[in-house]
Structure 1
């Protein structure tokens, strides 16, 4: 009994001592094990949780954030479904360029498909030759794609997209005179020839061929261009070649203004294989160029005479942006007046057959004849000079007379 009473007294003392211990002593022990405290006070007020374990909520918060991330991921997946639907709506947009390309191809085909061929008798009378294929002084054969002129007198001939085999056959004496532009205006290839002759007079061009080649096989050509506005040319081949195989070609270009005067010009090559070619050009302050090419001038035969004069401009009998090649034939070349007149100018170089002997390429006048020809017709030696003043004056008077004659003939034809 005494032991029990002592034990009970001891327990009572311990309880009383524990009651006297401050609560803060217990709090320090709880901080050492924050996880246990958080679990035990799960339902406690928020303030007690923050006071007992400040760091522990920070550890648990990422769990809540992951849940949010998962929710956000789920939210992001919904637009993915919408994004998958967008390309379906955009499929027609992707196909549109294909439709546009096809439309462009169709347009190109339409441009190629429309040939045109017409004759202007005067400023008001136009003949659609493809609809009216036969007339008193012309005819068109669709099988051979050939237009025949037989003593035709008119203001202008126009043709476009007639095909690579389009040709003009000359019979009798034909006169085409246009005081407002080109006498003969062709888009595409043109081949001319025949037993007859043609006189083409234009204020800017006698003959202009665009996007094609001009080929002169035979026939007699009197070509004149005279104006005081811009550049003038007896023959102007735009984006093509000029090829002279035979015939008589007299070309005169006179500019009374500040522009240039070109006799025979081609954007690509000029090739003279034969025939008799006579060119006269005259300018005041612009370039006077007898035969010119944007690429090469190649002479393989024939008899070519060029006389180019200027007052204060530049004069060249032959002018090639690339090469001048002379293999055969006879050439009588003269350039007079202006700054450094040259019989031959070539941007890349000059090749002349050894058959011509030594040639002075710095000369203003050259007479070139191969040793086997023996047909000297010029009064000039190889580097001689020639007075062009009288020739130019005669050319002007002749041109004015021809234009007047063409006008009178056209008036007479209209009255008849």
Structure 2
């Protein structure tokens, strides 16, 4: 049994050695299998990409059969893909159409920019007319045709004339600029206009026997966002109107033109010593004042003296501080005028008039004033409007009978103030006595 056990042990050892001998071969076989498996995965990945490419090529053909609307375009794309699928070099053939389309679009954009720029833009300086479209840049001005924007920087001259009916003409102010003419308007624009900048503009003009005259005339819409403006309008012995800033035109047929003021400091003086009228800010359309500081003074002999007006449009106040003084010696004067509606939602307004017929509010339509202003005499010649709703008080206050005082001082208010004062005096005496004892 012992020998058998020894032989059995020996046989088992040999069997184990025999089993260990083919192990490297098996290991090599497994490595080959693993490598083959890895290559198979790579082939599968490549095959998947190829299949995907083939699917992309073949799917439009199937789509062509089902989609009627885009059949021609998809078939064209499929044909090009089928031709270029064999060679990588020819692949860029597909995006050639977008490139061509981009070139066409760029050409259209260039034409659009040229169309939208001002068709006429001239500055008059020292009696010489400067064609700004031909010479875009000077020592004190620069014109960006793409933005249709003219920047004045300490420019001193007589007039600015522009025609820009396709796109809004923009005037940006830097430094102190002066435009002064003795016939017509210092700034005359046909088309929409925008005014802005950190600088200032002093614009002065005169009316003649055949021309209205003043600071700025825009036959279109005008928006003032910022800047400082000193506007002067003068009327001579003729019968034409002197006006500080006007939008629209009433010679023959009215051209609508809205005037919108969002900010800036605007000072206007319009004086007509002739037979004509004097206007400050006037719009043949809607006039809307959202902000800014505005000071308007108008004076004439026998015609209409109007500070701020709108014809065929509403006159709306949404904010800002506005002061108007309108005088007509033997005629009619109005601080605010509209042949439609006057709407005062917010802002501080100091309005005063003098004349044979003088009204702070002259309206042929309706007048709406925010209840925050309290009771307002619509027939008064002078008004000071300061909305109480924009102020904060400890308790409710009613508007004063004299709006310049802002708030009434009632008997109860005086009594409470007196009791509070006596209490403070008593407290001070007690504190002083304690300090003496100490």
Alignment partners' CA distance in 1, 2:298 and 2:391: 28
Deviates more, 1:175-184 or 1:162-171: 162-171
Q: What do residues 317-360 of structure 1 show as CA deviations (whole Å, max 9, x unaligned)? A: 00001000000111001111222x10001111100011111100
Deviation at 1:373, TM superposition (A): 3.8
Choose the corresponding residue for 2:309, options 292, 308, 328.
Answer: 292
Q: Which runs of 5+ in 1 are unaligned?
A: 1-110, 385-416
Larger Cα Rg: Structure 1 or Structure 2?
A: 1
Aligned to 1:199: 202
1:371 aligns with 2:388: yes
CA contact (8 A) 2:386 2:403 kept: no
Equivalences for residues 5-404 of structure 1 within 5 A: 115-123=119-127, 125-161=128-164, 163-203=166-206, 204-210=213-219, 212-228=220-236, 229=238, 230-238=240-248, 239-294=256-311, 295-339=313-357, 341-374=358-391, 381-382=402-403
Deviation at 1:382, TM superposition (A): 3.7
Describe the SS at the equivalent of 1:164.
Answer: strand
Alignment partners' CA distance in 1, 2:125 and 2:309: 32
CA contact (8 A) 2:172 2:195 kept: yes
Count how many residue pairs are aligned between Structure 1 and Structure 2: 267
CA contact (8 A) 2:116 2:148 kept: no
Deviation at 1:166, TM superposition (A): 1.7
Query: What TM-score, normalized to structure 1?
Result: 0.62
Alignment partners' CA distance in 2, 1:313 and 1:383: 28
Tell me: CA distance 1:207–1:288, structure 2 relative to 1, closer, same or farther (3 Å).
same
CA RMSD after TM alignment: 2.0
Alignment partners' CA distance in 1, 2:193 and 2:278: 23
Query: What TM-score, normalized to structure 2?
Result: 0.59
Q: Which runs of 5+ in 2 are unaligned?
A: 1-114, 207-212, 249-255, 393-400, 406-438
CA contact (8 A) 1:365 1:383 kept: no
Alignment partners' CA distance in 2, 1:131 and 1:162: 19
CA contact (8 A) 1:366 1:381 kept: no
Alignment partners' CA distance in 1, 2:390 and 2:273: 38
Moved over 3 A (4+): 111-114, 372-375, 380-384
Deviation at 1:374, TM superposition (A): 4.9
Alignment partners' CA distance in 2, 1:363 and 1:383: 14
CA contact (8 A) 1:154 1:175 kept: yes
